[in-house]
Structure 1
Amino acid sequence: MFFLNYVVFILIILFTHLLALSIQSMSGKQYFFGVYIKEIIIEENVKKKINKDFKKKLNISIILSIILYLILKDIFKVNIGANIILSTTVYFVLFYLILRLEYKKIKYIKTVYLQNITSNNNKKQIIERVTIKEDEELTKLKKKLIKKFKILFGICVVLSIVSLLYVVLNYKNMPDVVITHWGGNGKPDGFAAKNIINVFFINFIDLSMVILFAVLGVGSVCSNTYIDTGNIEKNRQRAIKYLNGIGYSFFVLTLSIQSITTTIPVFMVQEKDIPMWLTITSCILPIFISIVLMYYYIMLNSLKPKNRGAYTIENDDEKWIYGFIYCNKEDPKLTVEKRLGMGWSINMANPLGKFITVIIFVMTVGSLLICFI
């Protein structure tokens, strides 16, 4: 148990740190820390210096997070669940602040570059933009994928609803004091009086998480997919293959996390320990699935148009807040490709996007609260 507490945290924080360190290398050459730079030139030595400074700050951040974890565990005796969430949250906050700082640096460099071009047109010219759209044939092929993944993620939602109904049917027979938390060894270590909030809170978190992953999974397949027109037929088939991989990766990722969130209410009703293998699997398996997901993102990204002048609606800097929050009323899509890292960002101007953001916030706060019950 003592060893497990450290292993789980180290695996989570190291994986998170590796992803953070690699976020720029996974972003594609047209973006640099969230800024669209395809139409400008930044000296390589400047890029290297900014990258080095970024990684140095991140390394300091992970050290601070580990120190915080040790302090909370050994001095304040905070339980492992709450400790992991608090320590990783601190890391994410520092990560956000560092990203925002680097974004401002690049934005300033781009502004100065464009001002110099405007003042002296004889030196350099801005590359003429060629606005591109998703291939129509690819859009038709994607419709079948979207339908399939709606069904698969619908199964996940049904499983969560079944878990909720199981608790509803057994609510009256549950004891006056119920289990609300299990330790890293699977043994109950938190209890509370039976009421609607204490009993159904985990079901709420579970169902919200599954719906969120379903929206992100299906949304990833629905998002605009731009491919190079050279050897168009082959690129279409490869794009479908990679979108399939992304969809299935999200599906398996959802099931792996759901294996613990959907079953916890059942263990609560039956007043049983959670098997160690289930706890460990639900913590470690998502890490490996995320690696597979990253592979498909990289491969899909490799199909994008190579023309330096290719421009899409998502490339407009003014539609992004600090390079990682997308807000565009002119774009009907719920999700668009991220500028930082791999994957898709939610369009905050979309009503559903705002709803999902609220769900994420509630889930985050709820996860913190449930660990402290």
Structure 2
Amino acid sequence: MAFLVFLIITLFIAVTQIVIPYLVKKTVIFGVTIPEQYMNDGAIKKLKKQYAIAVALISIVLLTGYSVWSLTTEPQEEQMAIIGMLMEFGILLISLSLYIYYHGKTKQLKIQHKWVEHLKQVKVTDLSVRKEDEMLPWYIYLLPIITTLGLMSYTIFNYDILPQQIPTHWGPSGEPDAFTEKSPLSAIQHTLLLLIMQLMFLGVHVATKNSGIKLSASNLAASKNRQLTLRKYSSWFLFFVMLACTILMSFYQLTMIHPEFAAGSIKIILPFAFLFIVLAGSLIFALKVGRSDKKIEGTIDEKIMEVDEDQYWKGGMFYFNKNDPSIFVEKRFGVGWTINFANPVGYLIVFVPLIIIIIISFVMGG
């Protein structure tokens, strides 16, 4: 079971890392802004191809080795989980290292060919684009939150019938494999962690909804379509992940109160259904956004370009811009959003809830 789970997740990670250069914003190559009129340059295409082939070959070697080792030595699930996690981190680390290498190569190309020296940088503002924004309204996110609060209250109401050993972790088979002593806090631990995560998701949604919509002066139609697509599908994807987490954690919480809920194969099917929904949703989201500015052919003005913000992107990955009020901005390597690290509100929305979750998990686990 553990072998199959880690094989699916690792395969998904490998595929996404391979195709990332082809899904990011069209005018950004390995975190570097390239004027649209030079996107078909042979050197750029070669760098993207080299990266994709390198990650693919390394991933094939690691996945093959993991499969052969798992099927021939019949290791324990714990061993498969450890090696599987190391393999996943290995692919991510290798792809990151290759990204850093090709980021430097792309910067050299940009400087060497003087692609931006004779172009006028233009910032586009279109106030009407907000009317076309199809992000979900913030109050939709309250539905799972209300459900969790209700489940928390139900757990407290049924505290007397809870087992003396409260499950804190479930294995791939759906069976609990770690426990802690019964207490008022441990009884609602999972609903509390779920609530904190839900509030974080709500904060991320509100912050992204209020973020700036950045358009390209050289190809307004394509950039507009990408921004609207990114905003629409990121809000839907975030909501469905939040909903899936709520259903999964609610099931585990209810089985703690009513063990008969876990009868049959549902305890195995539900975690796999959750994994499938998240991975399939991630893939659909990446493809929808990644293709949104490639399929629209607009008139390219070869005398201008969008504002080059490379100076605000450290390594092409970390955005620091005190002059930008946006809390979240579109990633330069990957599909989705990243924090404006110069805006402290982003830390409050993302890192504070994560720290609280880690502390609660550590205290209860200890």
TM > 0.5 fold call: yes
Residues 1:17 and 2:14 are matched in the alignment? yes
Aligned to 2:201: 213
Q: Alpha-carbon deviation of 1:5? A: 2.6
Q: Alpha-carbon deviation of 1:19? A: 0.8
Query: 2:246 and 2:336 mapped to 1: Cα distance?
Result: 21
Residues 1:288 and 2:276 are matched in the alignment? no
Q: 1:256 aligns with which of 229, 244, 250?
A: 244
Amino acid at match of 1:52: Q
Aligned to 1:297: 289
- Pair 1:6–1:237, CA change in 2 (3 A): closer
Say if 1:30 and 1:36, in contact at 8 Å, map to a contact too.
yes
Answer with 33-42 or 178-187: which moved more: 33-42
Amino acid at match of 1:311: E
Give CA deviations for 1:275-317 in whole Å, capped at 9, x if unaligned.
22212111111222223322431354356974452324xx411
Query: 1:93 and 1:364 mapped to 2: Cα distance?
Result: 25
Q: Give the TM-score normalised by the residue count of structure 1.
A: 0.76
Amino acid at match of 1:297: V
Q: Alpha-carbon deviation of 1:238? A: 9.8
Q: 2:32 aligns with which of 27, 31, 35?
A: 35
Query: Map of 1:120-139 to 2, 5 A cutoff?
Result: 125-133=117-125, 135-139=126-130
- Pair 1:299–1:126, CA change in 2 (3 A): same
Query: 1:172 and 1:217 mapped to 2: Cα distance?
Result: 38
Find the residue that maps to 2:316 and give its secondary structure: coil
Aligned to 1:329: 322
Amino acid at match of 1:293: F
Find the residue that maps to 1:336 and give its secondary structure: strand
Query: Map of 1:306-321 to 2, 5 A cutoff?
Result: 306-307=300-301, 309-312=304-307, 315-321=308-314
The percentage of counterpart residues that share the same residue type is 21
Say if 2:123 and 2:216, in contact at 8 Å, map to a contact too.
no
Say if 1:206 and 1:262, in contact at 8 Å, map to a contact too.
no
Aligned to 2:50: 52
Say if 2:26 and 2:293, in contact at 8 Å, map to a contact too.
no
Give CA deviations for 1:122-162 in whole Å, capped at 9, x if unaligned.
xx9431111112x21122453xx55x520111212222333
Amino acid at match of 1:132: V
Q: 2:173 aligns with which of 179, 185, 195?
A: 185
Query: 2:240 and 2:62 mapped to 1: Cα distance?
Result: 33
Residues 1:98 and 2:76 are matched in the alignment? no
Query: 2:356 and 2:80 mapped to 1: Cα distance?
Result: 18
Answer with 224-233 or 24-33: which moved more: 224-233
Query: 1:186 and 1:29 mapped to 2: Cα distance?
Result: 42
- Pair 1:101–1:163, CA change in 2 (3 A): farther
Say if 2:30 and 2:316, in contact at 8 Å, map to a contact too.
yes
- Number of aligned pairs? 354
Query: 1:236 and 1:126 mapped to 2: Cα distance?
Result: 25
Q: Alpha-carbon deviation of 1:209? A: 3.0
- Pair 1:85–1:205, CA change in 2 (3 A): farther
Alignment RMSD (CA, Å): 4.1
Query: 1:105 and 1:99 mapped to 2: Cα distance?
Result: 10
Amino acid at match of 1:288: A
Amino acid at match of 2:273: T
Answer with 191-200 or 320-329: which moved more: 191-200
Amino acid at match of 1:22: V
Answer with 281-290 or 298-307: which moved more: 298-307
Q: Alpha-carbon deviation of 1:262? A: 3.6
Amino acid at match of 2:9: I
Query: 2:358 and 2:89 mapped to 1: Cα distance?
Result: 11
Query: 2:292 and 2:358 mapped to 1: Cα distance?
Result: 34
- Pair 1:78–1:195, CA change in 2 (3 A): farther
Say if 1:30 and 1:38, in contact at 8 Å, map to a contact too.
yes
Query: Map of 1:123-162 to 2, 5 A cutoff?
Result: 125-133=117-125, 135-142=126-133, 145=134, 148-162=136-150
Give CA deviations for 1:42-101 in whole Å, capped at 9, x if unaligned.
852464146414541464256447757967x95564177776555434433333333223
Find the residue that maps to 1:29 and give its secondary structure: coil
Query: 2:131 and 2:362 mapped to 1: Cα distance?
Result: 45
Q: Give the TM-score normalised by the residue count of structure 2.
A: 0.78
Amino acid at match of 1:106: T
Query: 1:234 and 1:112 mapped to 2: Cα distance?
Result: 28
Q: Alpha-carbon deviation of 1:330? A: 0.9
- Pair 1:214–1:228, CA change in 2 (3 A): same
